[in-house]
Structure 1
Amino acid sequence: MVKYTLLVNRLLEQVGQLSEFKQWQEKGSISKEPVKQLCDALKKHHAEFQGLPHRFYISAKLMVTYTFESWLALQQRRRRKIDGKRRWLNRVEDDIELAKVTDFSPEMIQNRARKILAEIHPSNPVEPEPETSSDNEINEGENCQEEEEMNQPKSLLSCLFDLYDSTEDALTLRAIVHLLKNNGEVNEEDEDPKKLELRLAAKREEIQRLEKQLQGRLPKGRDPTGETTTRFLEEAIKLPEHPTAYPPRFLLNAFYCYALLPMPYIQYGVYLLNAILDEARIVESDFITWRDTIAEHLVNAAKRPNSLPYPLIFGSTSDLVWESESKRKGPNAPDTEGALEQSGAKSSRKRPSKRKRTRLKTQSDERITVRFHGMSQYRFKIYCDRRQLPIFRQFLTDYCTHKALDEENKFSMGLFALRSASLIWKKDKQRPHKRNSSEPVEPLSPWQTHRLYLHCSIDSRLLTAEGTEQVRFQKILQTKRKLEGAKNKEQEILRQKSERQHTESEQDLDDKLKKQRQNVARNQTSLNCLYNPTPPRPSRVRYQGNPNIAIGVSFCRQQLVGVGVIDLQTQQVQEYYSIRRLLINRKVTQVKRGRSVLQLKLKKYRLVNQLCMWKKKNITQRTQQQKQGLCIQNTTESNLRQYLERLVADRIVEVALKHQAGSIVTPQLGEIRESIESAVQAIAKQLFENHREAQQAYAKQFRMDFHRWSYGRLTDCIHSRARQEGILVQAGRQPVEGNLVGKALTIALSGRNLV
C-alpha cells in the first residue's frame, strides 16, 4: 500500500506539469488518456513502482482523475463567483456615480423597479413536473430531458444583469441596481450610506479571498513514509546560517589587534570597518528573510499530513464478487447447546437477556463475503450494522441472480443497487480502550492498529421496485438515443462508400464501419438487457408532494435553524417553525414522574441550551487542562450535537410530510461561510483600521461563535432523512441580512430560480 500511495503522489506531481494542464483549467475537466500514459511509463521505467497488482494501477489512475476533476471544478466555480461579484460591484459603483448627476426621487426608482419585476416575472404559477414512468410512454417522451433543460427558467439576477447591459435609460439603470442591492425586491426604506459602504467593503473582501483561493497550490499527495513531516519540522527549527560570511567576532578581533600596532595603516583600518558593516548588513538581511518565512514554516510544522494509504477504488459493479458462507466452523459442527438441553445437563453459561435472545433469533446463519477482481485470492468478510445488512443482501442477490442466468436472460448491470466501491484503510479508534492499562506498551503492527472499511456508493432508487422501474425507463431512453445515433453514423459511412465522396482510404472506412457496427451491437445488447426482469425488490409507494409547496431552511448561529413553509405561487410564507417549535413535543398531555406537562414538552428543546453550556465549558477549561496535561477526551459534547442534528433533521422532514411539500431547500454552505467571513473582516477593518492584531482577535471571536454548530453535518442529516422518504432536496442562496423568516423565503425561491 505504501508503494501504491507513492505512485499516486508521483502521478499527482507529474499531471500538474503537463502542457495540456492550462487547457484543462479553462475547460474544467481532465482527459484520462494522459494519466494512463504517465502511469504506464512509471510502471515500465521505474523499479520502485513495479510488482504491484494490476488493480492498484487502475485504482491509481482513477484516484488521480477524480482528484483533479474535483479540484478543477472548484477552481472553475471560484472563477464564476469572482466574475459575478465583480459584475455586481461594478454596477453598484456605477450607480453611485450616476446618482451624483441625476435627481430621481426614491419613489420614482421604486415605481420603476416594480414595473421591471412585473415585466420579468409575471404571475406564473409553478407547474408540476411531468411524471413519466410507464413503458408505453417511452416513444412519446424520448426528448423530455432536453425539453426540461430548455424550459428551465432564468434566475431573476441574470435577467436584471442582461437588462442592465441592454438599456441606456438612467431611471431604468438606477431601478435595476436598486433591485440588485435588495435581492430582487423593492425596498421602501431609506438607504443607509454607511451600511452600503460596509457592504461594498465586504464584497471587495470576498473577491480578494476568492482570488487568493484561486492561486492555491495543486493537489498534494499523502505522506506514508513520514518524510514530509520530518522536512517540515527541520525547516521550522532551522536558524539563519551564513556559510560565506566572516564571523563578526573574528573581524572585531582583527580590528582590535590592528589598533594595537605601533604604526597602523589607515587603509587597512577602513577596510576592516567596512567589512564589519557589510557583514552586519548581511546578517540583518538574512535574519529578516528568516523572520518573514518562519511563520509559514511553523504553519507547515503544525500540519499533520495524512499518513494513511490512498483507498483502492473499484469504479464498476463487476469489480466485486459477492458470496456467502456459513458462520459455523464447519458443515458438520455439533450443536453443543442442543446436546446439553437433551441430556439434561446444566450449562455454566449465563442465560442471555430477553433483548439479546430476540436479536439471536433474527440473526442470520450466513456471512456475506466479497472478493475483488485483481485480488481474488483474498476473501473479506462483511461486518456491518443491522440497518446496512439489507443493502448488502441486495448486493448478494443481484450478483448471484445475474451470475446464474444465461446470456439472453441477464438483466443490465446498470440496474445493480451497487454503483462503485472503495477499500479504505482507517485507524481503529477503539484500540486504545481495548488495551489494559497494566499491560506493557509494545509496538503494534498496522493490522492491530487499523481496520479495512468498505465504502459503497449506491443508487437508493434501485432498492425499491418502483425506483428500479424509474431508473430502467431513464436508461432505456438514453440507450435508444445512443443506438439511433450509432445507426445514423453507420448509414453515413455506407453512403460515403457507395457514392465514393470521401478523401480517406477504403481501409480506414472499413475500420470505421466495423467500429460503428460493434457500437450498434453493443447498444442493442444493452437495450435488450434493460428489458429483462430484475430480482424482486421491496415495494414502496413513491412520495408525491405538491410542487407548489417548498420547505425553506435557514441557518443562524444563535438559533441554529428556522424553517418556513413557502407557497411558490404566491411567494408567501404559509407557516414558520423556530427551533423551539420544531423540538417541542405537543403530544404530551399528562404529568409523568413528577414533571409538569410544560417540562415534558420542552425536554428536547432544552438540549440546545445544554449543548451551549457544554461548548462554553469545554472552551474555558480545555486550554487550562491542556497546559496542565490533564486534558481527557470527552465525547459528551460531540454525541449530544450529533443526536440534536439528527433530531432536527427528522423534525424538518416531518414538517415537509405534514404540508405535502415537493422539496426541501437548504442553504449553500460555501457561500454562507465566505460571505459571513468577508463581512466580519470588513467590520474589523473599520473598527480597528491600523491594528491588525485587534482585527484578528475580533474575527477569531466571531468565528468561534459561528462554528458552534456543524451546519455541514446538519445538511447531510437532512439529505439522508429526506432521501428515505423520497423528498427532493435542493440548494439555495441565503442572504446575509434579514430575519430567519425572510431568509427562509429567499432560500426557497432561489432553489427554484425565482429570485
Structure 2
Amino acid sequence: MTLKTLECRLYAPSDTLRYLWLLMAEKNTPLINEIINHLSEHPDFDQWFKAKQIPKSAISDICNDLKSQENYQNQPGRFYSSAISLTHYMFKSWFAVHKQLQRRIEGKRRWLNLLKSDQELEQNCGQSLEIIIQKAEEILKLMDSEKSQSSSKPKKPKKPKKKKKSSSEETITLFDRLFKAYNQGNDSLESYALAYLLKNNGQIPEDDEDLDKFALRKRKKEIEIERLQQQLENRIPLGRDLTGELWQEMLTIVNESIPQDENEASAWQAKLLKKSHNIPYPVAYETNTDLKWSKDSRGHLLVTFNGLVESLKKLNLNPEFEIRCDRRHLPWFQRFCKDQEIKANNDQHSSALFVLRSARLIWREGQGKEDPWKIHQLYLQCSVETQLWTEAGTKQVQSEKMVEFQLNQLRMKPELTFPIFFRSQSLPTYFNLWKVITSYRILKFLEKGDFTKAQKNFQDAIKRTESCLENLQSSYLTSQKSLYQGNPEIIMGVAMGLSQPATIAVVNVVTQEVLTYRSLKQLLGKNYNLLNRQRQQKQKLSHQRHKAQKKDAFNQYGESELGQYVDRLIAKAIVQVAKEYQADSIAVPKIRQMREIIQSEVQARAERKIQGYKEGQKKYAQQYRENVHQWSYGRLIESIHQASAKFGIRVEIASQSYQGSFQEQAQNLAIAAYTNRLEAVG
C-alpha cells in the first residue's frame, strides 16, 4: 500500500467548537491519562513488559470500567474506541523504544567489556604486549590478502551473481570484519589481538598508550551506558497535563523539599523545564465510513462524524464542519465526496476501494488569551491510498483485496468459503474437503435441534460472502491515467554524504552504462540558495541552544520547515529524473551506514588536508563537521519514499561504498541494489 496524509482545516460555529474542545480536553484526554495509570498499576504489567506487548483487550476492559464514571461519561462511541487505539499505539511505540534502548545498552556493554588497556590485555592474556602486537599484524595481513584475492577474481558479465558477491564483500569495513572475528573467537591470543586492533580502530599505533586518555575514553562509555540506563528506567509513557496540575505539584515539591542526590535534582529540573502540552489527544476514526461528506448551497465541502452528529444535534448545535484546504489537495477531498455518492446511489461497491482509508481530528496550538477553542485551530488529517486514484491502480488493489479476503474467509470460516469457491469453480480440487466440512457443519446444526433455521442461516451467510466478493469486483469511475512502468534494467542510485546530501546516477545495471549523473546543485536548480539559508538557521538555533543550556533554561528550540521543504524539492527532482529515464527503482543507502559514510568522508578530507599529523587531522575534522551543513538523511529518504509512491516507483535499500567520488558511489549503489535483487530471486 502507498499511503500518504492530507490535512485540512475545519470551520464550524463557535458553540460547536466549544463543545468539541471540552469533549476532547476534559473527557477524552483525562480518560487516556487514567487508562495509562491503570495499566501501569495492573498486576500483569510486568508480564506485558517482558513480552513487550499489551493485549488490546486489556485496554478495552479498563476503558469499559472507566466509562461508567461521571468524569468520562457521555462521549461518542468513536471517542472511546479512539482512546483504546491511541493507548495501545502509545505503549507499542514505548515498548519499541525501550527495546531499542536495551539493544544499545547491550552493545555498549559488549564494547566496554572488550575495551581493555594494554596492561590489562597483557595480564589477562598471559603474554607480552609485543607478542599481542605481532599477532595483530598477522591478522591485518591475512585480512588484507583476503580482500585483495576477492577483488582480483575475474568478473564475468554473463554471471552477475559472482560479480555482485565480490562487490558486497568490499562494502564490509575492516572494523566489521574484526568485530565479527572477535565474536566468533574464544579466550585465546587471537581474541586479545583482535581486541587490541578494535580498540585502536584497526591500526597498530606508533606511540605508547596514554593511560589518562584511555581512562577518559572508558569513562565516557560508562557515562553513555548510565544515561541510557536512566532512560530505560522510565516506568510508563506520560499523559498530557492540560491543566498544569502536575507541574504545580512538582513546583511545590521543589520549594518544600531537598533532593537526596544529583540524579533526583536533575530529574526535578527536567520536569520543571519540560514544555507542557496545551493540546488534547487526537481522536482517530479508523474506518472511512465514519465520515460523511456533502456540499452546501455554495458548493463548499462539508463533513460530519458518526457519533458526534447525534451528540451535537441533542444540544441543537450544527454538526457540519466546513473543509478549508490547499488547492492541490482539493481534488482528493472532492474524490471522498464522489466515492460516497456512488456508494449511496448504488450500494454495489465495497468501501475497501475508497481512496480515504482513515482520519483523525487534531487541534493545532495557537497564541492568544481568549478561550482555547478560539485560539487553537481544528484540523482533519486524512490517510489516503494513492494507488486507488487511477483505474489501473484500482484494479491492482482489487486483485490484492480479493486474494486477502478469500484467504481470511478460508482461515476463519472454511464452511462458507468452500461452497463459494466450488460454485465459481475457483477451487474445484477442494470438492471432497468441502463435502467433509459441510457435512460436519450440518451435524452441528442437527445437534442444536433446528436444522431448517440453521440451514437458512447457513445459506444467508454464503450469500453475504458472495456479495462482498461481487462488491470488491465492482470498479469505481476513476481517472484513466495509467500506472508508471519502468525499465527493469535501469536503476537510479542516490549517494548521500556530508558535503553532498544527494548525488544521483541512472545506471543500466545489465551493461553497467551510466545514462546520466545529477549533482545536488543540478537537482535543486534555482532553489539551491535555500541550502545556505537552512545552514544559517541551524547554526543560529545551535548557538541559542548552547546559551540556554549554560543558564539551565528552556532549550528546546523548534526548527522551521525549511529543511523538510528542501528535502521534498530534492525528492521531487529525483523522481522526475527517474521518470525521464524510465528507471525501474530508486536505490538509497542504509540509514545505519550514514555515520560510517560521513566519518570516512571527513577522515579522508582531513588526511588529504593535513598529512602526517594526526592531532591536526582530528581538529580539522571537528571543525569541518561544525562548518558543513549536517543533513537529516532519514527525513530525506522518507521524502523520496513519499514522492516515488505517488507514481508507483519502488525504493530499494542497498549498501553504499565509502570509496570514490559521489558519482561513483551512486553508480555502485545502483549496481548493489541490482545484486541484492538477483540474490533474492536466487
- TM-score bucket (shorter structure): 0.5 to 0.7
CA deviation after TM superposition for structure 1 residue 673, in Å? 7.2
- 1:578 is aligned to 519
Structure 2's unaligned 5+ residue stretches are 1-23, 126-131, 162-167, 314-318, 419-432, 551-556, 603-619
The residue correspondences of 1:329-728 to structure 2 (distance < 5 A) are 366-376=299-309, 377=313, 378-406=319-347, 410-428=348-366, 443-486=369-412, 488=414, 495=436, 523-531=465-473, 533-565=474-506, 576-584=517-525, 603-613=526-536, 616=539, 638=560, 641=563, 643-667=565-589, 672=594, 709-711=631-633, 713-728=635-650
Using a 3 Å threshold, how does the CA distance of structure 1 residues 450 and 405 change in structure 2: closer, same or farther?
same
> Does the aligned pair in 2 maintain the 1:564–1:741 contact within 8 Å?
yes
Contact 1:422 1:455 (C-alpha < 8 Å) held by counterparts: yes
Q: Secondary structure at the match of 2:642?
A: helix
**What amino acid maps onto 2:307 in structure 1?**
G
**Contact residue 493 and residue 509 of structure 1 kept, 8 A:** no
1:667-721 Cα distance to aligned partner (Å, 9 max, x none): 56577579989x99xxxxxxxxxxxxxxxxx999999768854545544443333
- Choose which of 52, 56, 59 in structure 1 pairs with 2:75: 52
- Partner of 1:33 in structure 2? 57
Deviation (angstroms), 1:193: 5.4
Task: Please state whether the residue corresponding to 1:369 is helix, strand or coil.
Answer: strand
**CA deviations over 1:93-129 (Å, ceiling 9, x no partner):** 9xx989865874755434445777999x998658xxx
Report the equivalent of 1:332.
none
Work out whether 1:295 is the aligned partner of 2:318.
no
Aligned residue type for 2:302: T
Q: Which amino acid aligns with 1:444?
A: E
Partner of 1:134: none
Q: In the alignment, which residue of structure 1 is the partner of 2:286?
A: 315
AA aligned opposite 2:306: H
Letter in 2 for 1:224: L
Matched, 1:15 2:15: no
CA distance in 2, matches of 1:524, 1:27: 40
Check the 8 A contact 1:615/1:708 in 2, yes or no: no
Give the % identical residues: 31
Report the secondary structure of 1:65's partner residue: helix
| SS of equivalent to 1:326 | coil
State the Cα distance separating 1:34 from its structure 2 match: 1.1
Residues 497 and 594 of structure 2 are in contact (CA less than 8 Å); yes or no, is this contact kept in structure 1? no
Q: CA deviation at 1:59?
A: 1.4
What residue is the counterpart of 1:272 in the other structure?
A: none
Which residue of structure 2 lines up, in the alignment, with residue 346 of structure 1? none
Give 2:288's aligned amino acid: T
Aligned to 1:344: none
Cα offset, 1:294, TM superposition: 2.2
Distance apart, 1:571 and its partner CA: 8.2
Partner of 1:3: 27
Displacement after TM superposition at 1:10 (Å)? 1.1
CA pair 154-42 structure 1, distance change in 2 beyond 3 A? farther
Counterpart amino acid of residue 608 in structure 1: L
For 1:138, the equivalent position in structure 2 comes to none
The corresponding residue for 1:229 is 247
How many angstroms does 1:400 deviate by? 1.0
Q: Secondary structure at the match of 1:3?
A: helix
1:718–1:232 distance in 2 versus 1, CA, 3 Å = farther
Contact map agreement 1:26 1:76 (CA 8 A) in 2: no
Give the distance between the partners of 2:109 and 2:490, measured in 1 at CA. 34
Give the distance between the partners of 1:708 and 1:192, measured in 2 at CA.
Answer: 31
User: Is 1:73 matched up with 2:15?
Assistant: no
Q: Take 1:471 and 1:558, find their aligned partners in 2: how far apart are those partners? A: 41
Kept in 2: contact 1:464–1:538 (CA 8 A): yes
Letter of the 1:109 partner, please give it: M
Give the Cα–Cα distance (whole angstroms) in 1 for the partners of residues 439 and 585 of structure 2. Answer: 56
Distance change >3 Å, CA 212–CA 229, structure 1 → 2: closer
Following superposition, the deviation at residue 529 of structure 1 comes to 1.3
Q: Which residue type is aligned with residue 248 of structure 2?
A: T
CA displacement, residues 583-623 of structure 1 (integer Å, 9 cap, x when unaligned): 34xxxxxxxxxxxxxxxxxx543443344345556766899
Q: SS of 1:644's equivalent? A: helix
| CA gap 1:16/1:575 in 2 versus in 1, 3 angstroms | farther
The one-letter amino acid of 1:294's match is A
- Would the aligned equivalents of 1:663 and 1:728 in 2 still touch at CA under 8 Å? yes
Q: 2:327 is paired with a residue of what secondary structure?
A: coil
User: In 1, distance between residues paired with 2:58 and 2:283?
Assistant: 21
Equivalent residue of 1:605, what SS?
helix
The offset of 1:309, in angstroms, is: 0.9
Aligned residues: 567
For normalisation by structure 2, the TM-score amounts to: 0.66
Change (3 A) 1:559 1:166: closer
Counterpart Cα distance in 1 of 2:91 and 2:169: 30
> Cα 1:610–1:403, aligned 2, differ >3 Å: closer, same or farther?
closer
Contact 2:171 2:657 in 1 (8 A): no
Following TM superposition, by how much is the alpha carbon of 1:373 offset from its aligned partner in structure 2, in angstroms? 0.8
Q: 1:55 to 1:102 in 2, by over 3 A?
A: closer
Q: What is the letter of the counterpart of residue 445 of structure 1?
A: D
- Secondary structure of 1:321's match? strand
Give the alignment of 1:153-232 within 5 angstroms. 191=203, 213-232=231-250
Shift of 1:658: 3.6
| SS, match of residue 28 in structure 2 | helix
Alpha carbons of structure 1 residues 168 and 220: separation in structure 2 relative to 1, 3 Å? closer
Letter in 2 for 1:367: H
74 and 289 in structure 1: CA distance in 2 versus 1, 3 angstrom threshold: closer
How far does residue 526 in structure 1 lie from its aligned partner after superposition?
A: 2.3
- Residues 110 and 396 (structure 1 numbering): CA distance in 2 closer, same or farther, change over 3 Å? same
Q: CA deviation at 1:62?
A: 1.5
Task: Point out the structure with max Rg over C-alpha.
Answer: 1
Residues 196-238 of structure 1: CA distance to partner in whole angstroms, max 9, x if unpaired? Answer: 999x9899998777666544442211112211232333344x2
The alignment partner of 1:420 has SS state of strand
